[in-house]
Structure 1
């Protein structure tokens, strides 16, 4: 996985949320949480696994809404942040955090109702193996996001020290087919790349986001979208 050593550092875990989801980054956080909620609903009593759960912003949210959830990540410092978040929200008895490898998930086949991963596949060196494992342990649903190859993300990507993996629709369809998954639905968003929003204050970001969303509703929205959310079912 790209940046695995960097990602597991203590100082990265401590600053991760503040750097990415404060200021204009709050708009990204809100949109991603809405996408996860919508895809996985209804949540009450649903058995859910999150791959690369990081600091637990999704796991804690889903536990609050009634899911029986497990979060797995390679970074123990990230998991510690997640456990602290869960304690503060009073949901630590409704979820479990585990350190592990997403390419070799320690669960039997069909163990969860739904398996999802956010902000993960852009770092995946072998996406087919990861998606195959997600499909194996999911009884019904797999949900994940990707950054799109033919978008402004490709320009922003060239400025990143590690870069990230970008996907065409064709590649995603091929991955789904290889994992035995059938696409149920998809959403496509953010003409402006995430990095832009993270660099500006929330009050400045909101007018840009309004324009971004308006463009997204036009015919240009789909080809220009930098992020896609994929909702699939086990065949």
Structure 2
């Protein structure tokens, strides 16, 4: 996976959320939480796996909402941040964090009701194998996001330290088919790329976000969107 050593560093884990979800990045956090909650609802008693859970912002949120959830990540430093978050929210008894490789998930087939991964596939060097593993351990649902090829993110993607894998709709369709998944629904958002929102104060980001949403509701919304959320079901 791209940037594996960087991602596992202690200092990166400690600063990860602050760098990405402060300032205008708060709007990204809100949108991603909304996408996950809407896709996975209802959550009470649902058996869920988060792949590449990082600092546990979704894992803890879903535990609060009543899910029986496990978060898996390759970074011990990130998992430590997740455990601390769970303690602070008082949900440490309702979730489990495990260190593991997303390409070889340590669970039997059909073990979870839903499996999801956010901010993961843009770093995947072999996305087909990762998605195949997610599908293997799910008995019903797989949810994930991708950054879109040809979007505004393409303009600055080459400047990023690790770069990002960008996906066309056609490539995602092939990946779903190869993993034995059927597309149940998708959402496409953020004409202005994440990098912009993280660089500006929240007060400035909010009116841009309103404009972003307005463009997203037009026929131009999908082709210009930089982020896609994919909700798939395990084929019979």
CA distance in 2, matches of 1:163, 1:181: 27
> Deviation digits for residues 124-181 of structure 1, max 9, x if unmatched?
0000000000000000000000000011011120211211100000000000000000
Tell me whether 1:26 sits opposite 2:29 in the alignment: no
Structure 1 residue 204: deviation in Å? 0.7
Q: Partner residue of 1:110?
A: 110
Q: Partner residue of 1:5?
A: 5
CA distance in 1, matches of 2:77, 2:42: 31
CA distance in 2, matches of 1:185, 1:39: 9
Structure 1 residue 53: deviation in Å? 0.2
Q: Partner residue of 1:146?
A: 146
Structure 1 residue 37: deviation in Å? 0.2
CA distance in 1, matches of 2:41, 2:156: 33
Tell me whether 1:206 sits opposite 2:223 in the alignment: no
> Deviation digits for residues 27-81 of structure 1, max 9, x if unmatched?
0000000000000000000000000000000000000000000000000010000
**Matched pairs, number:** 235
The unaligned stretches of length 5 or more in structure 2 are none
Q: Partner residue of 2:180?
A: 180
CA distance in 2, matches of 1:156, 1:37: 30
Q: Partner residue of 1:94?
A: 94
TM-score normalised per structure 2: 0.99
Q: Provide the alpha-carbon RMSD of the alignment.
A: 0.4
Q: Partner residue of 1:155?
A: 155
TM-score normalised per structure 1: 0.99
The unaligned stretches of length 5 or more in structure 1 are none
